[in-house]
Amino acid sequence: MNTQRSEYLILGAGPTGLSIAHRLLQRGVTKDQIRLLESAASPGGLCRSEIVDGKPLDVGGGHFLDVRNQEVLDFLFLFLPAEEWTTHHRIAKIMLRNQ
């Protein structure tokens, strides 16, 4: 176990933890000042895919990236350009008691 002290401790390498680490780096914090801990075998949290029976399965479900805020989209596209995303436009409705 590494007992090195870090200035910043981030628990979880999901979208929030990775975003915080990225912003700290952008603001001049060095990598050795940041400790990012993740309990899973790979980063991504609910925003990752796993291969199941030879096919990708989105862990968080398709709704996870239903993002309409342009600032959030711009941040996401820093890591994977917009033209590499598959987008879907949909109208979701729920019927309850015939309404």
Enumerate the β-bridge partners of residue 49: 58
SS3 at position 51? strand
Q: Tens of pLDDT along 14-54?
A: 888 998 999 999 999 999 999 999 998 888 888 887 888 98
| Pairing outcome for strands 8-11 and 49-52 | unpaired
Helices (H), 1-99: 15-26, 70-76
DSSP state letter for 34: E
Tell me what pLDDT residue 63 has.
55
Contact, 17 vs 10, CB < 8 A? yes
pTM higher than 0.85: no
Tell me what pLDDT residue 20 has.
93
Enumerate the β-bridge partners of residue 52: 55
Tokens coding 64: 């996870």
